[in-house]
Amino acid sequence: MIKKRIQSIDALRGICITAMIFMNNPGNSKYTSPLLLHAPWNGITLADLFFPCFIFVMGMVIPVSFGKRMAKGQTKGQLIAHLLKRSAMLFLIGLFLNAFPCFDMQHVRILGVLQRIALVYFFSGLIFLFSSTMSMFIISAAILIGYYLLLRFVPVPGYGAGVFERTGNLIQYIDLKLLKGHLYTPDWDPEGLLSTLPAIASSLLGILTGCLLVSDKKNTNKLYIMLVCSALAFISSIITQKWFPLNKNLWSSSFVLFTTGFALLLLSVCYWLADINNLATLIKPFIIFGSNAILVYTLSEMMTKILGCVKVEVSSGTLIMLKEWLFENWFAQWAGNYAGSLLYSAAYTLLWFIPMAVLYYKKIFIKI
């Protein structure tokens, strides 16, 4: 078991959460660069990269945290109980966020970001507990291939098989059958039930990387392996996207490979800086954000909803959202619409750095 804390894991997790908060909170989405918005369907943007990257990091942590627990004498039964408890908490927090502040439970969205994290954490953790390293690699490959075959060959009533468009694909069919009225939009959920399957593969590839990091290999050798695997993931993604397009909504197999390559590349940079050259101070803000990642994400999402609900009366006597008022009066008025939208995102993200820094330096880490 590795004794020294792997700071690059905290840093990468912090980069993901920082990017997710930043890109989820433009001053006005009408004045935001397409790169900072999710791709409408096929293709990939900067905004599409960080949620799967976070799931990859979550997988990386499993060998580290479970290794420590097993070293303290915890049994597999106790670890499964931990998986159940933590997954249930994450799912319920995600459900609470979806319902907040109206709590219209008849129409509440059941799935979501934290719910996907919960499901992926539980199933990938179980696989880790009962599988060897080679088995996890084979399971990951089987999931990615099997997922493609499901979407390619299982027919959808009224549409047939092999539909990779927004309407008529197998993911949509299953979600409408089981969760109609509780989706992100009336006919679609980007965190659908079936598309959680390849997200488990994203986590398993993270677990394999975590196993590498806690191994006895030299740090430089670990870095070279991660860089080679990153290149192989990118190349595999380029090849496979000819059959299964890059698509975050579908969480396509090529998307898993591309985002895994991206996560490994970012991790390699963080690992070189923090764990090989002891230059963690250069990425300290991300380490701080990563130390209470779920907490800051949850609070920031709640605040975003509050800013969208509170109304402010303007000179004309009409009511507008507080967020809209802040954007127009504090940012767009002097910086312009596009720069102002970007600055609003930056200011909102930096606002959350202050309480996270206080918690970090007081050594308060709220684990969910």
Kindly list the distances between the CA atom of residue 19 and the CA atoms of 223, 280, 290, 346, in Å, as whole numbers in the listed order. Answer: 24, 19, 11, 10
CA angle 23, 26, 32 (to 5 degrees): 90
Take residue 141 and report the two structure tokens written for it: 């490959």
pLDDT tens by residue, 150-167:
999 999 999 999 999 999
Give the per-residue pLDDT at 233: 98
Instruction: Quote the pLDDT of residue 1.
Output: 47
Query: What predicted TM-score, i.e. pTM, was given to this entire model?
Result: 0.94
Which residues are CB-contacts of 87 (< 8 A; sequence separation ≥ 6)? 118, 119, 121, 122
pLDDT at residue 241, as a whole number: 95
Q: For position 310, what pLDDT does the model report?
A: 87
112-132 confidence digits (pLDDT tens) = 999 999 999 999 999 999 999
At residue 31, the pLDDT reads 87
pLDDT in tens, 47-66: 999 999 999 999 999 999 99
Percent of the chain residues past pLDDT 70, beyond the cut: 99
Shortest CA distance to 348 belongs to which of 305, 300, 298? 300
Q: Two tokens at 348?
A: 């909102």
- ∠ CA 319-342-263 to the nearest 5 degrees? 125
- pLDDT value at residue 3: 56
pLDDT value at 4 more than 80: no
List, in order, residues 6 or more apart from 219 with CB less than 8 Å away: 271, 275, 276
What pLDDT sits at residue 8?
A: 94
The domain ranges of the chain are 7-361
DSSP designation for 74: -
Helices (H), the chain: 7-24, 50-71, 76-99, 113-129, 133-153, 170-179, 196-213, 219-240, 253-270, 284-291, 293-309, 322-326, 333-335, 337-361
Residue with tokens 């994450």: 90
Q: For residues 34 and 276, what is the distance between their CA atoms, to the nearest angstrom?
A: 36
What's the mean per-residue pLDDT of the chain?
93
